[in-house]
Amino acid sequence: VYKRQDCIPLILLTNERAVVLHLSRKNLVRGIMDEALDFVDPDRLKRVYIGPHICKNHLTYDQDHRDEEVYVFRKMFPRAVFEKNDNWQVSIRKGLQFYLDKWAIGKEKIIEDGRCTYEQASLASRRRSSSCGGDEGKKQNFTIVWRET
């Protein structure tokens, strides 16, 4: 079981193991995907599961709220940051795609739940909660992994 809110729950499956990653923009910048190579060989991946997460339309930063890691993210993943009305829209999913392409993971191996945690009221979202002043910050989304034999 894996708990989280707006970040991507990423599960890398081989015949031998499941590697579960909490994928945020900060974790991408800090090298989590390179560290995953200590636990899984991309050539042995059978499936990649990408769970619901916040989309770029709701992961935005204006000039006053861009920390250093947002700038580093933009430098590392230029195709994952979009400018709109003086805001930067950040796509964690596009940052992930950089690695899926680098590892030659084809679409046939990817199972993706494309729901946005901010837009889907049934899913917990820290950003939606803080923008609405709600009590949702205590809720979590759960991703459950099991292997059929």
Q: What is the pLDDT of residue 3?
A: 46
Instruction: Tell me the H-state helices in the chain.
Output: 25-29, 32-36, 68-76, 92-102, 126-132
pTM: 0.84
Q: What is the pLDDT of residue 102?
A: 96
As a whole number, mean pLDDT of residues 13-37 equals 93
> pLDDT per residue over 72-111, tens digit each?
999 999 999 999 988 999 999 999 999 999 999 999 999 9
Q: How many CB atoms lie within 10 A of CB 29?
A: 19
Q: What is the pLDDT of residue 2?
A: 44
Q: Is the CB of residue 127 less than 8 Å from the CB of residue 7?
A: no
> pLDDT per residue over 106-133, tens digit each?
999 999 999 998 898 888 787 776 655 5
